[in-house]
Amino acid sequence: MGQKINRLKGMYDVTPDQVWVWQRLEHTITAILKEYGYQEIRFPILEKTTLFHSAIGEVTDVVEKEMFTFNTRKGESVSLRPEGTASTVRMVLQNGLIFNDPQKLWYNCPMFRYEKPQKGRNRQFSQVGVEVFGFDGPDVDAELLLMTSKMWQQLGLKNVRLELNTLGPAECRAAYRDVLISYFEKHNDVLDEEAKNRLYSNPLRILDSKNPNMRSMIANAPLIKDYLSESSQAHFKGLCEILDACGLAYQINHKLVRGLDYYTHNVFEWVTDDLGAQGTICAGGRYDRLVEMQGGKSTPATGFAMGVDRLVELISDHDLWQPVAQTHVYMVYDKAIPGHEVFQLAESIRGAIPGLNMMVNMGQASFKSQFKKADKSGAKFAIIIGEEEFEQQTYSLKALQDRAFGQQQMSFEELVSFLSSALTA
């Protein structure tokens, strides 16, 4: 007897009873992306490790401790993508996509991070990401937020709130960074190990810490808003004005800094309290310097990534959606009829009714046992081919849920026309 092998920690399977949630979610989101004129891209799961080091930043959770990194047979260090922005920037540069044109792009794919698995935090998880290149104004940031808000609406999510902040351009950040370092130096006794390690390399990230012992110290830290230039304040104000005009509510959170090094100006998170600790379902912001840092010509950019797993959890935990039975029709037949004849009939029905969901009973069995399976499949109708129907080339259609309909005998043409209109009803 062989031994069962289980899946890796932090990874999951999507079983048939759950896959419909994923499909409906992805369908809703991608339809809205299309409505707003965004185009899909796909890129490899594996990239050179150096891409993530240079694009995400050395002093980040992702690069320091979360990447799945290994050497190829030739000794080159490669990593499973932990996020999509680095690959998108590489891709638009390598393919000359932003040479003269702006681009509005999206992807939906699995990411890999070696994290401590818990609810809403997996080692393989899916993100829908949007990345926009070539627009420097706050209008496109506003569009991203209006678009995501429309997604929540259509998904039926209620308790989500939008938190906004601005980090200003690099120059303002540099001044703020110095002030922040002196503040943290003064409170050295409260800093944990991680904060001490980040003090000089990525002090803003300390503001993001979830350590309760540092909470009150962080609450009193100086705020970036007091160090922003007029033009950077105007950028943020421009964003808020569009959101106000369109009636999209938000909260300004001065402590929101996002984990990654490359953000500038507007940053945001969509948060829900319905998921426990891992409540951020979508996060992003502007990253005007990244393209240049990756060897391209200076190009403004902005985007976000949403956690698809967390959305699926939200929908499933709260029973927001009800499954719709996939099988519409189940075909049962007398066990005396040769299998190849049955298949021929089934194929002609399928050919005549595109889009029909039909299951044909497999193997020969009594009508009783076939009807049990038909009921279990959730089908609305059973097509019955008994000896009599087979000889007369007719079909009996039985409603499995609607008693009033009972059972009716039909010709092929009648069957096709009945099922076609029942499909669109």
- Please state the closest distance from residue 125 (CB atom) to ligand ATP, in A: 3
Interaction of residue 113 with ligand ATP, rule CB under 6 A: yes
- What is the C-alpha separation between 127 and 148, in angstroms, rounded? 14
Q: What are phi and psi of 394, to 5 degrees?
A: -120, 180
- Please state the closest distance from residue 353 (CB atom) to ligand ATP, in A: 41
- Please state the closest distance from residue 266 (CB atom) to ligand ATP, in A: 15
Q: Is the dihedral of CA 192, 195, 196, 197 positive or negative?
A: positive
From candidates 228, 281, 397, 416, binder to ligand ATP by CB under 6 A = 281
- Please state the closest distance from residue 83 (CB atom) to ligand ATP, in A: 5
The DSSP bridge partners found for residue 162 are 270
Contacts of 257 (CB under 8 A, 6+ apart): 165, 167, 204, 205, 207, 208, 263, 267
User: Which residue, 159 or 366, has its beta carbon nearer to ligand ATP?
Assistant: 159
Cα dihedral 134, 90, 294, 36 in deg (nearest 10): 20
The footprint of ligand ATP on this chain (CB under 6 A) covers a number of residues equal to: 17
CB 208 within 8 A of CB 195: no
User: Which residue, 168 or 279, has its beta carbon nearer to ligand ATP?
Assistant: 279
Interaction of residue 257 with ligand ATP, rule CB under 6 A: no
Beta pairing class for 69-71 and 46-48: unpaired
Closest by alpha carbon to 382, among 406, 399, 369, 362? Answer: 399
- What is the C-alpha separation between 211 and 195, in angstroms, rounded? 10
- Please state the closest distance from residue 318 (CB atom) to ligand ATP, in A: 17
User: Which residue, 12 or 412, has its beta carbon nearer to ligand ATP?
Assistant: 12
- What is the C-alpha separation between 174 and 295, in angstroms, rounded? 22
Q: What are phi and psi of 240, to 5 degrees?
A: -60, -35
Single out the segment in contact with ligand ATP by CB under 6 A; choices: 186-194, 273-281, 316-324, 380-388: 273-281
């031994």: which residue's tokens? Answer: 3
**String of contacts with ligand ATP for each residue 114-133, x by CB under 6 A:** -x----xxx--x-x------
- Please state the closest distance from residue 184 (CB atom) to ligand ATP, in A: 20
Over its C-alpha atoms, the chain yields an Rg (Å, rounded) of 28
Considering only residues 295 through 354, tell me which ones interact with ligand ATP, judged by CB under 6 A.
Answer: 305, 307, 309-310
- Please state the closest distance from residue 205 (CB atom) to ligand ATP, in A: 10
Considering only residues 49 through 108, tell me which ones interact with ligand ATP, judged by CB under 6 A.
Answer: 83
Residue with the shortest CB distance to ligand ATP: 307
**Cβ atoms < 10 Å from Cβ of 17:** 8
CB 278 within 8 A of CB 317: no
Single out the segment in contact with ligand ATP by CB under 6 A; choices: 36-44, 112-120, 145-153, 238-246: 112-120
From candidates 211, 253, 280, 364, binder to ligand ATP by CB under 6 A = 280
The contact set with ligand ATP (CB under 6 A) reads 83, 113, 115, 120-122, 125, 127, 259, 278, 280-281, 283, 305, 307, 309-310
